[in-house]
Amino acid sequence: MYDTLITNISQLILPEKGPLKGEAMKKLNVKENAAVALEDGKVAWIGSATERVEANEIIDAKGNVVSPGLVDPHTHLIFGGSREEELALKQQGVPYLEILKQGGGILSTVRATRKATEEELLEKGKFFLERMASYGVTTLEAKSGYGLDKETELKQLKVAKRLNEDSMLDIVSTYLGPHAIPPEYKRDPESFLTQMIALLEEVHRNDLAHFTDIFCETGVFTIEQSRRFMQASKALGFQTKIHADEIDPLGGTELAVEMGSVSADHLVAASEQGIQDLASSETVAVLLPGTTFYLGKDTYAPARKMIDSGAAVALATDFNPGSCVTENLQMIMSLAALKLKMTPEEIWNAVTANASFAIGREDLAGQVEVGAAADLVLWEAPNYKYIPYHFGTNHVKTVWKRGEKIWERGECHVFSVPQSESQS
């Protein structure tokens, strides 16, 4: 007798383990007319919907899709304030890096995050996490980077750690101390970087992050500075990530591969050499089409060229208060179809197997396997292609994390207002 049986599944998505590179991304493992049983928070049995299986709770998927919980491998989850005032500047054509240069952008969020208490950041983080879960995300990465000083960077990382402990979701932390250069160090970025490197030790000692990250971009950190930071990170045992070649082609993609980074993120302006380097490595290209969309740009990351050359591609929201303000990974899946020209099979592999590999969770997330944690999503969609196709809405019916229902589509009174409310 199992705890739960989900049956009548039209398609059960069973991604292969990542990293899925090139051709391997083009095949999605799908079991038609399936059923899955859960026991003690784990997947206990996978079979056909026609088999008779006993369970305490039986859920009829009614011919809909079940997938692994989605994995969002790049978010800036923890921050103070918000930046809706910058939308008008964007409309007037002021570039993202120009807003930053004038002391806005990331620096505006830094001011708000320094002011916020740990409790305030925690409450805000909870709110966003519930939204992410509602869209089917059960594992995610969260970066610091809005402190740019010791106290606030540690505060952000502690909040992420508490959210990981207190919630059902799995949150993997990344230390992004070198995210921008604070005004007090404008004339001496090298000594700012030295401070952020010095902080690595404390982050490591308190087990506050698994990964490190740096914003390698014109006016932010150079290739040489990024290499220095990554070498220091590796020396302490961190795995590295990098915000690379987002706006200007500095060669951050090549650097990521040279350093053996687990991922290189953005890559809109990645060079031909960078793409070849990715293809010959296990560094995952984490693409963030929501950011290109939100910045109002026309040129998207060369996903087709990357996959066709043999690289591993993952997709993420880049959820942050400035350049991509959305918790909705399903929207990113649609943008990947429309703007990156990725196929539905590639898209599903990119938000499951490759996303989990990009955050070192390939054994724990992005899969449906007997013995693995029961992180599952029941969709209101007849097949997996339907989800990226029907954009901008939430297709999730139910989300399970380690076998527990953590989100379910709520009440709706459009066709029936409850009696007590209509009478009062």
- Using CB under 5 A as the criterion, which residues of the chain lie in contact with Zn ion when the complex forms? 318
Q: Is 323 assigned a ligand-binding role in the annotation?
A: yes
Nearest distance, CB of residue 75 and Zn ion, angstroms: 8
Nearest distance, CB of residue 161 and ligand IZC, angstroms: 21
Burial 383-398 (b: 16+ CB within 10 A, else e): bbbbbbeeeeeebbbb
SS3 316: coil
Nearest distance, CB of residue 368 and Zn ion, angstroms: 29
Would you say 174 and 369 are in contact if contact means Cβ atoms under 8 Å apart? no
Question: Which of ligand IZC, Zn ion, none binds 229 (CB below 5-8 Å, type-dependent)?
Answer: none
Contacts of 416 (CB under 8 A, 6+ apart): none
Q: Is 246 assigned a ligand-binding role in the annotation?
A: yes
> Considering beta carbons, is residue 61 or 244 the nearer one to ligand IZC?
244
Residue 109 as a binder of ligand IZC (CB under 6 A): the answer is yes
> Considering beta carbons, is residue 318 or 345 the nearer one to Zn ion?
318
Among 18, 182, 252, 322, binds ligand IZC (CB under 6 A): 322
Angle, vertex CA 314, rays to CA 302 and CA 143, nearest 5: 110
Nearest distance, CB of residue 99 and ligand IZC, angstroms: 9
Spatial separation of the C-alpha atoms in residues 168 and 164, rounded to whole Å:
7
**Which residue from 69, 70, 26 is spatially nearest to 317, judged by alpha carbons?**
70
Residue 76 as a binder of ligand IZC (CB under 6 A): the answer is yes
Q: How many residues bind ligand IZC (CB under 6 A)?
A: 10
Nearest distance, CB of residue 107 and ligand IZC, angstroms: 9
Q: For the window 186-215, what string marks contact with ligand IZC as x by the rule CB under 6 A?
A: -----------------------------x
Chain centroid to CA 302: how far?
A: 19
Spatial separation of the C-alpha atoms in residues 71 and 133, rounded to whole Å:
10
| Tokens linked to 57 | 């709770």
Residue 143 as a binder of ligand IZC (CB under 6 A): the answer is no
